[in-house]
Amino acid sequence: MRFLIREHQSIRSAIESKGLPYRDFSFIKKHGRLNIRFRKEEPVFTFFRKTQTLLDEQNQWVKKTTYHLQLTEPEGPYDDWQEVLTRFKAWLAMVSKNGDSNVIS
């Protein structure tokens, strides 16, 4: 799976809007999935995009893209990138709270 520019930009924007340093995140592709990790925190935010060509009611071929997530349990499919982004922002809030306890003052 390729990490699309618009996906990368929206992920980066979400990270920066939380006031988190982008360099504290790692992006690792593994088995066709993109794994996003904050420092060494768990859980890792994982997603992949699946595109299928299906027949619609008029017997026309239509491309359909769905997103699948994995946090602690598999989630999805979601038809819209914004749904993925909403869940990513919730994940960011969770790991940034956990990560605050690991910061040395």
For the chain, which residues make up each domain, given as ranges? 5-96
Is the CB of residue 46 less than 8 Å from the CB of residue 69?
yes
Pair 70, 46: CB distance under 8 Å:
yes
Query: pLDDT, tens digit, for every residue of 10-58?
Result: 999 999 999 899 999 999 999 889 999 998 877 899 999 999 999 989 9
pTM score, whole prediction: 0.81
Where does the chain have alpha helices with state H? 5-17, 81-100
